[in-house]
């Protein structure tokens, strides 16, 4: 299983890449494996405000539908529109072309307690 070292992870199996006050979010390799072939993505709208723990996207696969939760509070400033035509990018490249959204945090936003790659690997093993 692929778990890049350059991101943080949530217990809901989202990955988070923080660059300044911008945060890119997607689902992990483990999550996409559990869902199976993703066939539809309901993205948020740019300008949407989300709070930590809010569902901001829905992924539909051949197995199930799953909410994706925001790991922090912010405003959606970017959405991966490629997923509308090719949702399988989440399966083939969850940490690259399969990203979901970019959030902008307000100044002083507290970053929640997230796992590093090693902690997430242990967490996943405990889930199996």
CATH of the domain at 69: 2.40.50.100
Q: Is residue 61 part of a domain?
A: yes
9-66 pLDDT, tens digit per residue, is 999 999 999 998 999 999 999 999 999 999 999 999 999 999 999 999 999 999 899 9
Task: Report d(CA 97, CA 6) in Å as an integer.
Answer: 16
Query: What is the extent of the structural domain holding 102?
Result: 8-109
Q: Is the pLDDT of residue 109 over 80?
A: no
DSSP letter for each residue of 48-108: -EE-TT-EEEEEEESS-EEEEE-SS-EEEEEE-THHHH-TTHHHH-TTTTT--EEEEPPTT
Q: Is the pLDDT of residue 127 over 90?
A: no
Across the chain, mean pLDDT equals 93
Q: Is residue 126 part of a domain?
A: no
Q: Is residue 21 part of a domain?
A: yes
Q: How many domains, in total, are found in the chain? A: 1
Task: Report d(CA 73, CA 51) in Å as an integer.
Answer: 4
Q: Is residue 124 part of a domain?
A: no
Which helix H or strand E contains 26, and what residues bound it? strand 22-27
Q: Is residue 115 part of a domain?
A: no
């Amino acid at each position: 299983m692929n778990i890049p070292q350059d991101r943080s992870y949530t217990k809901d199996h989202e990955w988070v890449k923080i660059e300044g006050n911008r945060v890119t979010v997607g689902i992990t390799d483990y999550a996409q494996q559990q869902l199976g072939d993703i066939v539809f993505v309901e993205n948020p709208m740019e300008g949407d405000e989300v709070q930590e723990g809010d569902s901001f996207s829905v992924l539909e696969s051949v197995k199930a539908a799953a909410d994706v939760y925001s790991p922090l509070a912010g405003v959606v400033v970017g959405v991966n529109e490629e997923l509308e035509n090719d949702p399988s990018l989440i399966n083939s490249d969850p940490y690259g072309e399969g990203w979901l959204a970019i959030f902008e945090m307000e100044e002083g936003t507290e970053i929640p307690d997230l796992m590093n790659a090693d902690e997430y690997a242990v967490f996943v093993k405990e889930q199996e």
